[in-house]
Structure 1
Amino acid sequence: MQRRILIVVFPGFQLLDMAGPADVFGTADLIVPDGGYAVEVAAPGGGAVSAGNGVTVVAGALGEAAGTVDTLLVAGGLTVPEHVEDRELIADIVRLAAGARRVASVCNGAFLLAEAGLLDHRRVTTHWLSAGELGSRYADVEVDPDPLYIEDGDVWTSAGVLSGVDLALALVARDHGHPLARNVARGLVVYLHRPGGQSQFSTPMRAMTPRSEPLRELQAYIDANPGADLSVPALAARAGMSERHFSRVFTEQTGLSPGRYVERSRADTARRLLEVTGLPLAAVARESGLGTQETLYRVFRRHWRISPGDHRRRFHAKERREP
């Protein structure tokens, strides 16, 4: 029997919040037609609904949606603040969630789930730009702005926009196993089925670009040379500054201390090596500048909440070995 996926949209929704997961489930259904998915889109009032980018989709009437729903998935969009006040929309989400096996949101669609009371006393995520507001508006919701997606019981929430694809792949993996999820990812030419604990931010995204050209060059040097001496004294000398002045200026212009930036840059290098090479963990630790396997493990758990070995086994090494 197919699993019924009902995606909730509204005027001004983010098109990728709907289309990304819909294509993941649709592709899975092509591969496993007897145990796949049936995707439906519903909106208040139904009919033609315009996304925030002007593209129009035809949706069923949310108020008329009935029957068993396997997964209720709520999209996000710039107009979410308006729709949080739509009592009929929230009531329909509550009604459908009550009979669904699981509930999920993409991006700031989490606000609609929170307004429906479905996120109370749960750990959730959303787009990093909206995380602070979600936490302050809904005091009973524990908001973590870093992960790509979070599973808390039968409720799944994801970060911004394309992380909805990661969320949908995780749901497929939960239903049918990681091999099918990897095949779906391959079919959609998605580079990596990423673990939910992976951060929304790569090192360049986490740090601001320095105003000073010498510091921009130094930032690029750090990212390109993880195995070099990247201590504060060495970096300060390379920048032609005293250690104290360098630390202050670097932190001011990037938003991260030199030590923290270096660790995150090396952690990103280690992650890439795990994803695209077969190097032993000890070699990954050396090549990334982290030194030892113990440091690699500790840093990887801190940044992505998964061990280096699990990351490689679950998400990329198998994918590269398969024909």
Structure 2
Amino acid sequence: MPQPPRTVLLVLFDHVQSLDVTGPLEVFTGAERLAPGSYRMRTASLDGRPVRTSSGLTLVPDLALGAAPDPHTLLVPGGEGTRRPDPALVEWLRARGPGVARLVSVCTGALLLAAAGLLDGRRATTHWAYCDRLAREHPAVTVEPEPIYVRDAHVATSAGVTSGIDLALALVEEDLDRETALTVARHLVVFLRRPGNQAQFSAQLAAQTASREPLREVQRWITEHPDADLSVDALAVRARLSPRHFARAFTAETGTTPGRYVDRVRLEHARRVLEDTSASVEEVARASGYGTPEAMRRAFLKALGTAPAEYRRRFHPVLPR
């Protein structure tokens, strides 16, 4: 017998972040188009009335939360409306949350789940700017500030905005198959898929952008050519500075040393290639600037606590290792 559609209920409230709603909504709706009967989408506010998002967009819900059927997936977005949670919304979550098969939050939606006691004793994440608040106000929650999303049994929390799309794609892959999730990702022109343990900050975001154009050009060059000679001497030539002056200026303007910046770019490149291609570990090591598989293995063990072959196994169980 065919499986009934999984009902995905998105909770709406005033000053919600619109992309936290529409991003996952587009993913699940896209999957439903590709696999009819897989999902049934519903949006609901406390009283069933339209809500105004933090960007001024008006969203019209399908129904009131009190009239909503029990969903398979309850998705709570974030936004300014989570800063001072509506007590009635928190109570509704406290009453209905424990009964759902899958509980999901995007961005500061985790604050609402935590306020309802639904994250107690669990690992969770939220937008980096609110991780400290989540940990301070809800000490029963183990807050992980680094990952873009965290899965703990049937509860999944994401870091915010675009990471909600990453998490939704991961759920579609889990519910249906990788090909469906990949097709949805292609239609949305996004990567399939950033792993949950990828840091909220990429190397480019974690480091400041240099103010001087020669140093910004070096940052771009490093990102686009991880397999090049990225020694301080070589990069200094590109910046038209002496090695000593370059190293000092790069660190002062980006907040990290050239070596650490290069290490992070190479690690990100290697992870992405392992996740998204069938290239061998040796090919990945060479393309990412490690030179040898052993050098890449040491970098992965130091940064991630796992070897490249094991890392790939999470995404492609049958691809070359």
Whether these two folds match at TM > 0.5 is yes
Q: What TM-score, normalized by structure 2, do the two folds share?
A: 0.85
Give the drift of 1:222: 3.0
Per-residue CA deviation, residues 200-257 of structure 1 (Å, 9 max, x unaligned), is 23221121012344433433343344334434466567764564x6555433321222
Q: What's the counterpart of residue 211 of structure 2?
A: 211
Q: Match for residue 321 of structure 1?
A: none
How high is the TM-score relative to the length of structure 1? Answer: 0.84
C-alpha change, 1:233 and 1:30, in structure 2 (3 Å) is: closer
State the partner residue of 2:9.
6
Once the 2 structures are TM-superposed, how far is the Cα of residue 272 of structure 1 from its aligned partner?
A: 4.7
Taking the TM superposition and a 5 Å limit, the aligned residue runs for 1:149-228 are: 149-228=149-228
- Residue 317 of structure 1: how far off its partner (Å): 12
Q: Please tell me the residue identity of whatever aligns with 1:139.
A: P
Query: Is contact 2:44–2:68 with CA below 8 Å preserved after alignment?
Result: no
CA distance in 2: counterparts of 1:182 and 1:306, whole angstroms: 25
Structure 1 residues 62-73: aligned runs within 5 Å? 62=65, 64-73=66-75
Aligned pair count reads 313
Alignment CA distance shift 1:302-1:166 (3 Å): farther
Say whether the 8 Å CA contact 2:113–2:119 is kept in structure 1: yes
Residue 266 and residue 189 in structure 1: after superposition, are their counterparts in 2 closer, same or farther (change >3 A)? closer
Cα distance in 2 for residues equivalent to 1:112 and 1:10: 11
Within 2, Cα distance between the matches of 1:164 and 1:8? 14
Give deviations 1:30-73, integer Å, cap 9, x for gaps: 23223x111111112221111122221222222x1354221111
State the 1:297 CA deviation: 3.6
Distance 1:210 1:187 in 2: 34
Equivalent position of 2:266 in the other structure: 266
Aligned-residue RMSD, C-alpha: 2.9
Whichever residue aligns with residue 17 of structure 2, its letter is: Q
* Offset of residue 155 of structure 1: 0.6
CA distance in 1, matches of 2:12, 2:298: 41
How many percent identity over aligned positions?
47
Q: 1:16 aligns with which of 11, 16, 19?
A: 19
* Aligned-pair CA distance for 1:99: 1.2
| Counterpart for residue 288 of structure 2 | 288
CA distance in 2, matches of 1:235, 1:24: 41
Question: Structure 2 counterpart of 1:32, which letter?
Answer: A
| Deviation, structure 1 residue 143 | 1.8
Structure 2: unaligned runs, 5 residues or longer? none
Amino acid corresponding to residue 44 of structure 1 in structure 2: L
Query: Can you list the C-alpha shifts for 1:249-291, whole angstroms capped at 9, x where unaligned?
Result: 4333212222211101212333454467654321221222112
Is the 8 Å Cα contact of residues 51 and 59 (structure 2) preserved in structure 1?
Answer: yes
In the alignment, is the contact (CA less than 8 A) between 1:185 and 1:192 conserved in 2? yes
1:169-195 per-residue CA deviation (whole Å, 9 max, x = no partner) reads 111222223233223323444342332
Residues 49 and 57 in structure 1, CA contact (< 8 A), matched pair in contact too = yes
AA of the residue aligned to 2:23 = G
Counterpart secondary structure, 1:130: helix
Q: Which structure 1 segments of 5+ residues have no match?
A: 319-323
Cα offset for 1:302? Answer: 5.8
Q: In the superposition, relative to structure 1, how do residues 287 and 212 fare at CA in structure 2: closer, same or farther (>3 Å)?
A: same
Deviates more, 1:218-227 or 1:263-272: 218-227
Are 1:193 and 1:315, in contact at CA under 8 Å, matched by a contact in 2? no
Output the CA distance in 2 between the equivalents of 1:236 and 1:140.
49
Distance 1:254 1:183, change over 3 A: same
Question: In 2, Cα distance between the equivalents of 1:121 and 1:295?
Answer: 38
Local SS of the residue matching 2:60: strand
Q: Which amino acid aligns with 2:169?
A: L
Distance in 2 (CA, whole Å) between partners of 1:215 and 1:189 is 30
* Cα separation, 2, equivalents of 1:206 and 1:246: 20
Q: Secondary structure at the match of 1:97?
A: helix
| Partner Cα distance (1:305, 1:79) in 2 | 38
Distance (Å, rounded) in 2 between the aligned partners of 1:92 and 1:226: 50
How far is 1:308 from its partner?
A: 4.3
CA distance 1:235–1:162, change in 2 (3 Å)? closer
Query: What is the rounded CA distance, in whole Å, between the counterparts of 1:97 and 1:21 in structure 2?
Result: 19
- Please give the alpha-carbon distance, in whole angstroms, between the structure 1 residues aligned to 2:230 and 2:44: 53
Distance 2:60 2:153 in 1: 32
> In structure 1, what is the equivalent of residue 121 of structure 2?
121
Residues 1:185 and 1:212: Cα distance change in structure 2 (over 3 Å): closer
The structural deviation recorded for 1:74 is 0.2
For residue 252 of structure 2, what is the aligned residue in structure 1?
Answer: 252
Partner SS, residue 253 of structure 1: helix
2:35 is matched with which residue?
A: 32
